[in-house]
């Protein structure tokens, strides 16, 4: 029995799973971004007070900016429209979250990886990086409208 045909079939099956997986990542985390941003806006004073407490300047403006990015770009991820472009501000927003609200977890990147990966922004950041790197997949408006060749 030759192993090469089996490996090729397995590779084809694994490649077929890319688009459904990317859809699930985009849908779940896009919705999560929208919900998180919406929650921040609806508790503007409380979140602004928290932002002020961690030393962010112009806390209300920063809450509105972060919420707008999360809602707008999260919605784009959710439907798979301009996905890679939408992922970029989300990556930046999550990097800022690490640098401000989760500074201790960020500093533990090499010394205590559990602290880094269990911090709140981690999965949001990871999902955004996946979409940025691999694209939205075939189950997306991007693919439907633009038939992009890049990405799975």
Does residue 104 fall inside a structural domain?
yes
**Do the domain assignments include residue 15?**
no
Rounded to whole angstroms, what are the CA distances from 43 to 28, 39, 47, 60, 139? 23, 6, 6, 11, 34
What's the token pair of residue 136? 């939205």
- Enter the pTM of the model: 0.89
74 domain-assigned = yes
pLDDT in tens, 48-97: 999 999 999 999 999 999 999 999 999 999 999 999 999 999 999 999 99
Residue 151 falls inside a structural domain: no
* DSSP line for 103-129: HHHHHTTTT-HHHHHTSTHHHHHHHHH
Total of domains in the chain: 1
Inside any domain, residue 2: no
Give the range of the structural domain holding residue 34, as residue numbers without chain letter.
20-146
Q: What is the pLDDT of residue 96?
A: 96
pLDDT band at 152 (very low <50, low <70, confident <90, very high): low
Classify residue 46: in a domain, yes or no. Answer: yes
Residue 13 belongs to a domain: no
Asked if residue 87 is part of any domain, the answer here is yes
């Amino acid at each position: 029995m030759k192993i090469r045909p089996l490996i090729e079939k397995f590779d084809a099956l694994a490649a077929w799973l890319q688009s459904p997986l990317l859809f699930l990542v985009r849908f779940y985390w896009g919705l999560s971004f929208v919900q998180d941003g919406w929650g921040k806006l609806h508790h503007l004073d409380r979140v602004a007070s928290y932002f002020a407490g961690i030393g962010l300047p112009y806390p209300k403006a920063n809450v509105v900016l972060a919420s707008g990015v999360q809602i707008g770009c999260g919605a784009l991820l959710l439907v798979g429209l301009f996905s890679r472009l939408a992922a970029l501000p989300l990556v930046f927003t999550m990097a800022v979250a690490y640098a401000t609200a989760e500074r201790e977890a960020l500093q533990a990147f090499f010394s205590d990886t559990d602290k880094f990966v269990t911090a709140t922004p981690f999965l949001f950041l990871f999902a955004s990086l996946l979409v940025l790197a691999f694209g939205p997949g075939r189950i997306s408006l991007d693919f439907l409208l633009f038939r992009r060749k890049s990405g799975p």
